[in-house]
Chain A
């Protein structure tokens, strides 16, 4: 294995003696998983993705064997290739969503044996759904007697199932179903209304909270869309308890940030990633996405609260307690994809109940979660103003001063590849038709003669995306994977009959406007654009190579007590097309990492993450599940998987054995869950 190369990376060896006396926060709050189970998507309601298990450790990780595999092909009318789920484990049963119809399966945690399956046939409503396929998982609830599984269908209905039998809970909604397109303070067409959800419900204190998601918004169908309101429901009855208007109605706080009555028709502004909950504070944390139009906001002048805003609301009433807007009037699709993480930290001797929000823009925003005050200063700084007709530009944006960004931001000539002078020269020529600039450089109107688009980094897919990070409540380290990839921001006139004004696109000779053009993927799950799938970075290539320098994927550890990066390593073997590129022959290229999305798991001693791409490994074509010493970032072992990680890993203990489950698949490999354990 190649060593990561020091020019890219920071290495800090933490003081183990300090760490060992760190106190553990309350279990269930942000203390990671308990009893060796994994009862929520993020391990717990704090989204730590942390488990204190340590049977699998640095010395034996490489000996992991496949415990069982669960193929998902037959859970829908055709095989799926995009399994993003993290299973849950409670009382010896693994629960997961899978398959093109988003079936729920209950599996014996020891053997993978299918115990029951449930799916809904939603017909046209599902065919029209903006968020299709298997989704990210489900929620588990118990009052100690009854156990329920809750999930949202592709057609946007909330289903409650008896966890033991898989049968719908008769007393919940209408025979186990709450139609989420109803009772939403707006009219939504049941069949065609653009709203759905890939994320899981979040349940705490008998309240189940549901987000909202829409079609990707580079080329909206118009300026009007369904609004992504957030609601809380009674987990026993399905009764709606509250709703939070992410686009405030007239008379509500923030309504004035929507000029020219744009709040009336503008939609989106949902919460399509995972939510977080602090049961003690009684707060739910909503990472809100941007409003309709990912790259053009001329139809919604103003700063657009609560677009790209972290909002804390009361979990019993939905009342707003505090909020913080990360991007004013967003036009970069820097919506909040990653789960917010609750972390109890100590900064300069002061204990802080914090919340840390990883972002596509590669900043980790850290607040006191009781009141929304930044833990370290976040300052408003001027940003470049664009000249797109009709656009409304915010003169400033908030800049995080600490911790440092975990990935590169902005594009300059220095960012271009320089493996050889020839490659650098080609890259310089390539970018000459684009506008370059620092973070928050806005989109341009695309012109054939140039600029074709703004090159910006991170791209709309991040940085980090929906898998988010992990947090270790014992060491107060935060871990996250991010990709280093530029995107193109070009605008073309909206097609005939579309009142969105300008939409994402690249001008081409003889090419009419419209289409999705340069809008690099980012939400849905279409996060890995074609070039990434081919192995390199960037959407533009130089002799088949990404035009920016590696690493293309990295794992960062941040000491949250200090707000410093503790270590950073490239994650993912160098893609085949780079390793084998003739232009690089004779050069020693350190491990470049891989672009994509990669969720992490942190245990007692390890950070575990799979590769987001397949390469030619010593075991054949496949991807490695890698384990790093969580204190140093040193790789301690790797296990072969027949396909890339597509969903974030989780772990649990059953009958004295630790298991790790990871969702894999993609390309031509149909999705499956693979469970690993040590040999008996």
Chain B
């Protein structure tokens, strides 16, 4: 195995004696009870942390398959895109899976199927913007009754009895709340464009549900469903509150929508996970951008609460504070990552903080009680574009600390330089594109150049929906990110589409850009996430990704190459690493260590142009969720390569203090959903969702041999 290249990486050895004294926050806030895993992020602070430690650095490599659960028959056809993290409560594993997003209850020790539930939603399901198995579900109990809650592809909230799988009669109408109703707007029940891959989140008997839409590179028009967020009574399904992510007339922020654009503009939902602080009684909403991922001419103004972190009251939905990360977003840098709640000590001051990883690879950190940045975030001028009709914000907020965890912006220095020839080819290639620093806006695509702006991080991140992990004992935050460019070019919208300009590439035929409907928009929908990174798991020979990345990047990624987009002799345009894991010391706001994650892809390892060169491990682009335990940081590879055990992907464990790899276990396919862990009858289990390419999705459970 290649050692990570020290030039790329920072390493800090923490002072263990200090860490041992750190107090552990209250249960339910961060950290799991009793070795269980009761919500998507383990806790409603999204730490993805478990204090269990039977699986350690010394034995990780000895992990064996405890059981496997194949999901092929949970829908009318096998699924290849399983993004779920299962829950475990009282010895039962709950998960969504299959093309119809069935819910399954499994014996946590054996994987035995206890019950299955799914909804047949007909055309409503077929029209849904967020199809397939989704990311999971929520668990609720009052100590007596246990319920499972999830959102169907057709956007109904379902409550099931956790013991039998039967819908809870007293919840909504026979167990279902139609989320297309009672949403302060008219939504067509069959065709209305709203759905959700994310899970509901439950606290204090309130279940909060986000909203998601079709990928927005090529909107069908400037008008769309608005992604309002609502809270419901977990016992009855009664709506308790709604938060207008696009403020109506008279509401705060309505003035940031010029020319009455708030009226018709939609999206601005919350398609990732939410966070909740039960003690403070606040829900944290990472709101995405409004309609149009790369063109905002129809929505002049800063566009609150587009790309804004909003804290609302858990009981009433009333806004307590907010912070807009991007004013008038045109890069699809919406907030995909779960916000993480963390109690840190900065310069001796205890802070109840919230950390928001982002596609742009900034980690925004606030005092979660009031929204004040923990370290200064400053408004800085950004390049202005010249797309007709566009409204440009003169500045954008830049966090000053902690440092960005992945590269930002594209310059000649970022291009591959394995050999002078490759660098020269890369320079030639980018000469037809516009390159620049972070927040360089999209351009009108011209055949003779610029074809597009090359943007890094891509619309897929940086980091995406899988987000990071946080260790409440050591105050370390971990996040995987990919180093990958998007090409952002605009072409006129097709006839009968009033959007004006949509994502596209003049060089690859206007017809395709206009007609395909998705063009450079990168993907949400059924894809593994958004952006070019989303396509990566497909790998060689796999089916085309459900969502088409920008034309310039699609080919390279589908070929199984390492990172980047536009390719040079089949190699990514930009230097490695193409995937990395970063550890932050959140008390200091500094990077503690950073390593490449993922073996060098086969097509790089075997590339004739690189023959004789020693290429350190490059990492792999993709979307990778992490798990942190007492001693380990655990993450699977996002791609398959040729391993010593055959074609497959490795589940890797790192010493969480140093980033040194301490073990790896073979999986027959790449990680597609984030790992979780639990303890049952004295045994620690790790479950990870795998699949993609030609490998149908499944959940794999590992444990140590008896």
Question: Which residues of chain A have a CB within 8 Å of any CB of chain B?
Answer: 68-71, 73-78, 99, 101, 103, 107-108, 110-114, 116-117, 167
Whole-angstrom distance from the CB of B152 to the nearest CB of chain A? Answer: 15
8 Å CB interface, B97-128 against A:
98, 100, 102, 106-107, 109-113, 115-116
B77 contacts the other chain (CB 8 A): yes
Binds A, one of B49-57, B63-71, B536-544: B63-71
Which residues does chain B contribute within 8 Å of A75, judged by CB atoms?
A: 112-113
Given A77-B107, A113-B100: A71 in contact with B113 (beta carbons within 8 A):
no
Q: Is A74 a contact of B112 with CB atoms below 8 Å?
A: yes
Which residues does chain A contribute within 8 Å of B75, judged by CB atoms?
A: 111, 113
CA distance A475 to B563 in the complex (A): 66
Q: Is B107 a contact of A108 with CB atoms below 8 Å?
A: no
The residue in A71, A108, A113 that gathers the most chain B C-beta atoms within 10 A of its C-beta is A113
30 contacts between A and B (CB under 8 A): A68-B72, A68-B73, A71-B70, A71-B72, A73-B70, A74-B70, A74-B106, A74-B111, A74-B112, A74-B113, A75-B112, A75-B113, A76-B112, A77-B107, A99-B112, A101-B112, A103-B113, A108-B76, A111-B77, A112-B72, A112-B73, A113-B76, A114-B73, A114-B74, A114-B102, A116-B115, A116-B116, A117-B113, A117-B115, A167-B166
Counting chain B residues whose Cβ lies within 8 A of the other chain, the interface size class is 20 to 34
Task: State the 5 A-B residue pairs at the shortest beta-carbon distance, nearest first.
Answer: A111-B76, A77-B110, A74-B113, A114-B73, A112-B73
Q: Is A110 a contact of B73 with CB atoms below 8 Å?
A: no
CA distance A108 to B118 in the complex (A): 13
Which residues does chain A contribute within 8 Å of B107, judged by CB atoms?
A: 77
Q: Is B72 a contact of A69 with CB atoms below 8 Å?
A: yes
With A75-B112, A113-B74 known, 5 other A-B pairs at CB within 8 A are A71-B70, A73-B68, A77-B112, A113-B100, A114-B116
Counted as pairs of residues, one from A and one from B, with CB atoms less than 8 Å apart, the total is: 56
Which residues does chain A contribute within 8 Å of B100, judged by CB atoms?
A: 113
Q: Is A117 a contact of B116 with CB atoms below 8 Å?
A: yes
Whole-angstrom distance from the CB of A138 to the nearest CB of chain B? Answer: 17
Question: Which residues of chain B have a CB within 8 Å of any CB of chain A?
Answer: 67-70, 72-77, 98, 100, 102, 106-107, 109-113, 115-116, 166
Whole-angstrom distance from the CB of B482 to the nearest CB of chain A? Answer: 33
Whole-angstrom distance from the CB of A149 to the nearest CB of chain B? Answer: 16
CA distance A78 to B68 in the complex (A): 10
Q: Is A74 a contact of B73 with CB atoms below 8 Å?
A: no
CA distance A78 to B109 in the complex (A): 10
CA distance A101 to B68 in the complex (A): 17
CA distance A77 to B70 in the complex (A): 15
CA distance A90 to B589 in the complex (A): 64
Which residues does chain A contribute within 8 Å of B74, judged by CB atoms?
A: 113-114
Which residues does chain B contribute within 8 Å of A68, judged by CB atoms?
A: 72-73
Q: Is A107 a contact of B73 with CB atoms below 8 Å?
A: yes
Which residues does chain A contribute within 8 Å of B98, judged by CB atoms?
A: 113
Given A111-B76, A113-B100: A74 in contact with B69 (beta carbons within 8 A):
yes
Which residues does chain B contribute within 8 Å of A70, judged by CB atoms?
A: 72-73
Residue of A nearest to B106 (CB): A74
CA distance A409 to B67 in the complex (A): 46
Which residues does chain B contribute within 8 Å of A74, judged by CB atoms?
A: 67, 69-70, 106, 111-113
Whole-angstrom distance from the CB of A354 to the nearest CB of chain B? Answer: 41
Which residues does chain A contribute within 8 Å of B76, judged by CB atoms?
A: 108, 110-111, 113
CA distance A69 to B696 in the complex (A): 12
Which residues does chain A contribute within 8 Å of B110, judged by CB atoms?
A: 76-78
Whole-angstrom distance from the CB of A212 to the nearest CB of chain B? Answer: 28
CA distance A74 to B114 in the complex (A): 9
CA distance A112 to B75 in the complex (A): 8
Which residues does chain A contribute within 8 Å of B70, judged by CB atoms?
A: 71, 73-74
Which residues does chain B contribute within 8 Å of A99, judged by CB atoms?
A: 112
Which residues does chain A contribute within 8 Å of B106, judged by CB atoms?
A: 74
Q: Is A113 a contact of B73 with CB atoms below 8 Å?
A: yes
Which residues does chain B contribute within 8 Å of A110, judged by CB atoms?
A: 76
The residue in B102, B106, B110, B166 that gathers the most chain A C-beta atoms within 10 A of its C-beta is B110
CA distance A101 to B111 in the complex (A): 13
CA distance A341 to B621 in the complex (A): 62
Which residues does chain A contribute within 8 Å of B109, judged by CB atoms?
A: 77
CA distance A334 to B302 in the complex (A): 87
Residue of A nearest to B115 (CB): A117
CA distance A167 to B76 in the complex (A): 22
Whole-angstrom distance from the CB of B91 to the nearest CB of chain A? Answer: 13
Whole-angstrom distance from the CB of A677 to the nearest CB of chain B? Answer: 14
Residue of A nearest to B165 (CB): A116
Whole-angstrom distance from the CB of B479 to the nearest CB of chain A? Answer: 33
The residue in A99, A116, A167 that gathers the most chain B C-beta atoms within 10 A of its C-beta is A116
Which residues does chain B contribute within 8 Å of A73, judged by CB atoms?
A: 67-68, 70, 111
The residue in B69, B72, B98 that gathers the most chain A C-beta atoms within 10 A of its C-beta is B72
CA distance A76 to B106 in the complex (A): 10
CA distance A112 to B74 in the complex (A): 8
Residue of A nearest to B110 (CB): A77
Residue of B nearest to A116 (CB): B116
Which residues does chain B contribute within 8 Å of A77, judged by CB atoms?
A: 107, 109-110, 112
Which residues does chain B contribute within 8 Å of A71, judged by CB atoms?
A: 70, 72-73
CA distance A82 to B91 in the complex (A): 28
Residue of B nearest to A74 (CB): B113
Whole-angstrom distance from the CB of A353 to the nearest CB of chain B? Answer: 42
CA distance A69 to B109 in the complex (A): 25
CA distance A116 to B102 in the complex (A): 11
CA distance A353 to B111 in the complex (A): 50
Which residues does chain B contribute within 8 Å of A116, judged by CB atoms?
A: 115-116
Which residues does chain B contribute within 8 Å of A103, judged by CB atoms?
A: 113
CA distance A505 to B10 in the complex (A): 72
Which residues does chain A contribute within 8 Å of B166, judged by CB atoms?
A: 167
CA distance A107 to B109 in the complex (A): 25
Whole-angstrom distance from the CB of B98 to the nearest CB of chain A? Answer: 8
The residue in A78, A110, A112, A114 that gathers the most chain B C-beta atoms within 10 A of its C-beta is A114
Which residues does chain B contribute within 8 Å of A111, judged by CB atoms?
A: 75-77
CA distance A76 to B116 in the complex (A): 14
Whole-angstrom distance from the CB of A159 to the nearest CB of chain B? Answer: 16
CA distance A69 to B107 in the complex (A): 23
CA distance A282 to B74 in the complex (A): 42
Which residues does chain A contribute within 8 Å of B72, judged by CB atoms?
A: 68-71, 112
